[in-house]
């Protein structure tokens, strides 16, 4: 059976093809009774607009690229932050009849592929997630003049609107909690220093220790569970007397708890542990993890709203969301 055409819709509604096209494309210059007749004809005929032809008219694809600068195993199986952010962004876009095109970037070849795809006009805008310091995409996309929003403050000096959480303030709150509970030798497992979140959370840690006359004890991980376990073992070797550790994300904190248990250290009796993110697993560690709630879903939704605002010529001011200390049994 042949697919219903726009001409058939116009004939059924008793209007011109141009009028039917204006209704299909959402234009508001059509009288309500005529719009109702066209919509009724669309429903009766089962008409589905040709998306390619519609894009030529509207200059819009109704597709948004979500570019994640991480390998697939990290995105889909290791770090729940990504699934939460992707799901939240998708729901927010679906509510305004737009779809997500998920693109993973983990090599120079994939960077070039993504840049060509976006330059080809296949999407209306781009959302960047998990950028690292040397990432060439922000500058490349800025030159293409496509609307771009970043999940997190970009690490490179490029003028891109972004939505972030208060990484410095959150880290300060977590470390201050350890200081106020009487801990003296407070270490940190910092995140990767080519990412703004890793840099800012280390800054918050150092701010509080400097004000409390305690020395910094630092190991660096890469936001994975295994790196947290390795870093915790390193810290115990470097300073066997440490009595607390602030960990820059919950996955690394899970690894740190494992290393502390293997070393015979009781948590929180011997070593208190504070994480960052409040992923679902933080409630079920042994003991349950004290952490900073990072509003991951809210941040992704705010990123979508900022991008939609750019489409309408609205302001591109950064959005900073607050964090919240969630006290459980680990500290």
Determine the pLDDT at residue 59: 55
50-58 long-range Cβ contacts below 8 angstroms, 24+ apart: 54/24, 54/25, 57/21, 57/25, 58/25
Per-residue model confidence as pLDDT tens digits over 227-248: 999 999 999 999 999 999 999 9
Per-residue model confidence as pLDDT tens digits over 126-139: 999 888 877 778 77
Which range among 49-53, 94-98, 131-135 shows the weakest confidence by mean pLDDT? 49-53
pLDDT range class, residue 267, cuts 50, 70, 90: very high
pLDDT of 52 above 50:
no
In three state form, how does the secondary structure of 169-222 look?
Answer: HHHHHHHHHHHHCCCCCEEEEECCCCCHHHHHHHHHHHHHHHHCCCCCEEEECC
Mean of pLDDT values over 39-57 = 70
pTM: 0.78
Which range among 54-58, 186-190, 251-255, 283-287 shows the weakest confidence by mean pLDDT? 54-58
Structure tokens at 308: 């939609």
Q: Count CB neighbours of 29 within 10 A.
A: 7
């Amino acid at each position: 059976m042949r697919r219903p055409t726009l001409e058939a819709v116009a004939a059924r509604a008793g209007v011109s093809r141009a009028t039917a096209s204006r209704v299909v494309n959402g234009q508001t210059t059509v009288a309500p009774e005529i719009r109702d007749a066209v919509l009724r004809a669309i429903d009766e005929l089962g008409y589905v607009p040709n998306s390619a032809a519609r894009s030529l008219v509207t200059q819009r694809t109704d597709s948004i690229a979500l570019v994640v600068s991480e390998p697939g195993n990290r995105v889909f199986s290791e770090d729940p932050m990504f699934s939460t952010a992707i799901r939240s962004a998708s729901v927010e876009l679906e509510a305004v009849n737009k779809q997500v095109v998920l693109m993973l970037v983990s090599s120079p070849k994939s960077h070039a592929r993504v840049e060509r795809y976006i330059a080809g006009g296949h999407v209306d805008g781009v959302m960047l997630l998990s950028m690292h310091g040397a990432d060439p995409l922000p500058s490349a996309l800025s030159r293409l003049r496509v609307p771009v929003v970043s999940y997190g403050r970009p690490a490179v000096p490029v003028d891109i609107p972004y939505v972030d959480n208060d990484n410095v303030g959150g880290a300060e709150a977590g470390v201050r909690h350890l200081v106020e509970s009487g801990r003296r030798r407070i270490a940190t497992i910092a995140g990767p220093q080519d990412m703004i979140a890793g840099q800012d959370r280390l800054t918050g840690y150092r701010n509080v220790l400097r004000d409390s006359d305690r020395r910094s004890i630092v190991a660096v991980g890469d936001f994975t569970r295994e790196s947290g376990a390795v870093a915790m073992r390193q810290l115990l070797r470097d300073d066997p007397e440490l009595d607390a550790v602030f960990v820059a994300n919950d996955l690394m904190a899970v690894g740190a708890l494992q290393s502390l248990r293997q070393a015979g250290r009781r948590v929180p009796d011997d070593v208190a542990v504070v994480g960052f993110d409040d992923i679902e697993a933080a409630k079920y560690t042994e003991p349950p993890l004290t952490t900073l709630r990072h509003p991951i879903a809210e941040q992704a939704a705010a990123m979508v709203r900022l991008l939609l605002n750019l489409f309408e010529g609205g302001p591109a001011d950064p959005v900073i969301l607050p964090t919240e200390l969630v006290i459980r049994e680990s500290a």
